Amino acid sequence: MTTMVSPRKPVVLYPSPGMGHLVSMIELGKLFTARGLLVTIVVIDPPNNTSATGPFLAGVSAANPSISFHRLPQVKLAEADLPEMITFHLARLSNPHLRDYLARTSPAILVVDFFCSAAMDVAAELGIPAYFFCTSGAQVLAFFMHLTVLHRESTASFREMGEELVHAPGITPFPASHSIQPLMDHHGPAYKELLDVSAKLFRSQGIIVNTFRSLEPRAVDAIVAGLCTPPGLSTPPVYCIGPLIKSEEVGVKRGDECLAWLDTQPKASVVFLCFGSLGRFSAKQTREVAAGLEASGQRFLWVVRSPPNAEDSAKTKFEKPAEPDFDTLLPKGFLDRTKGRGLVVKSWAPQRDVLAHDAVGCFVTHCGWNSVLESVMAGVPMLAWPLYAEQKMNVVFLEQEMRLAVAMKGYDKELVEADEVAAKVRWVMDSDGGRMLRERTLATMRQANNALRKGGESEAALAGLVDAWVHA
């Protein structure tokens, strides 16, 4: 296709609902506007939308006048068992509204989120070059590009395979039990949706990935060499332009309490525990974490969210949970006993700013890819505690391939016990192994910064992509 990007023809970015995907797409938009492109981000609202993104988007618009937002009309949605199915349904039902908008604005390029693959049909109909943006790493992308091949090779569901290892070119084999939930049933509707996404990756003009090659060289090289591509298909160009992380906290409370408290703590002395916008523990697990932190003797900053309840559904995933009640949730006297060396905050902290603070020496994380990259960019070693999505896959890659994390034993069981929390926290903060983990993380941080510098691998990939658009 020969459509050329010009000042009058915008690049349209189409993220799926969910703050993690939206933030990554916004950061991608900032990279494009810095190179003189006009960017519009098309937003679809999730069901039961609480307008929580409103202030955030307003803040982004105010700080970045070259980025505009367009909200598609809300669509009516039937109930679904899995949050991923909600997102797939939303994108498909929004296609008529997206078609109207794109036909009216005639963008030069459409960049779609992995879960908005239904938009590829609209792009093809209107003759708009379409690219995928992968908000996960290259190893997850390699797996999904190879999914069609895996599907043909076996009729067994990942759930039935249990601890049997899944193999794909360029990635560390991982237990089938660690695959994402929608792939567990070989015959389920979510599995079929993801197979469809896998096929559509090869219909795109290219795939933009939020990683840098030197972080995941085996996976990137396997993808580029076509080793992950099913027979008979062509491998689209792949552009590793990361790490993209949130460049500022806008439109949200600033979390001054966290940062002011960190200012009073010694360098690299604080364990930071935060599990993403959707990560929630049972009351029992929360008490185990508290007991483990108290027993560890380490300083800590812990973001606590309300436990899930029986009424939660796929739709309520996008709703803001109630604020946690520390009096009923935490062990009696815990806050008093840990006063001074620990700070517990409700629901939210400015994660990027906290990780960048000199006082933080360890990050206990769910291993969402945005969090992984923020940790890498801050040079903070990770204790891995995956919860949902592709996070269990990420843990295998982080621990065995990149060697940037150590996993909490029991994350794949019903409970991570207090003794394990205490032991692993002490290990990262006080042992020779923990110091080596920190040194590897700092070395990777330097690689990441080099990738983003002018002439670095990620900067060059981005420049090549934009030049191809401008001079098409």
Q: What positions carry a catalytic annotation?
A: 21, 113
What gap in Å lies between CA 405 and CA 276, rounded to an integer? 17
**Structure-block tokens of residue 303:** 């973001």
Name the 3-class secondary structure at 312. Answer: coil
Helical pair 418-430 and 283-296, crossing angle rounded to 10 deg: 40
Buried b / exposed e over 12-26, threshold 16 CB at 10 Å, is bbbbbbbbbbbbbbb
Task: Single out the residue of 100, 197, 208, 206 nearest to residue 151, CA to CA.
Answer: 197
Q: 321 phi and psi, to 5 degrees? A: -75, 160
Task: Single out the residue of 221, 228, 183, 180 nearest to residue 202, CA to CA.
Answer: 228
What gap in Å lies between CA 93 and CA 97, rounded to an integer? 8
Q: 271 phi and psi, to 5 degrees? A: -90, 125
Task: Single out the residue of 110, 113, 88, 90 nearest to residue 101, CA to CA.
Answer: 110
Q: Which residue has the tokens 């994390």?
A: 405
Return the sign of the alpha-carbon dihedral for residues 136, 140, 141, 144: negative
CB 382 within 8 A of CB 374: no
